[in-house]
Amino acid sequence: MAEGMRLFLEEKHSRFGIRASLENFGELQGVRIVPVYGVGINLQSYSCSFLR
């Protein structure tokens, strides 16, 4: 996990972080990994006017 993400999670007292990646779905040291195509699919499920 990148040093910046670890510091951010500690600073904000967050239980987990989310990283968009070219990897498959997964989790590594408290960071949930979401593939880029998964992010796109999730955004399409919301009605976001700025995406149109």
**What pLDDT does 45 receive?**
57
> How many residues are present in the chain?
52
**What pLDDT does 29 receive?**
83
**What pLDDT does 11 receive?**
93
Domain range for residue 45? 3-51
Per residue of the chain (52 residues), what is the pLDDT tens digit? 568 888 889 999 988 888 888 999 888 888 888 888 877 765 555 554 444 4
Q: pTM for the full model?
A: 0.62
The total number of structural domains in the chain stands at 1
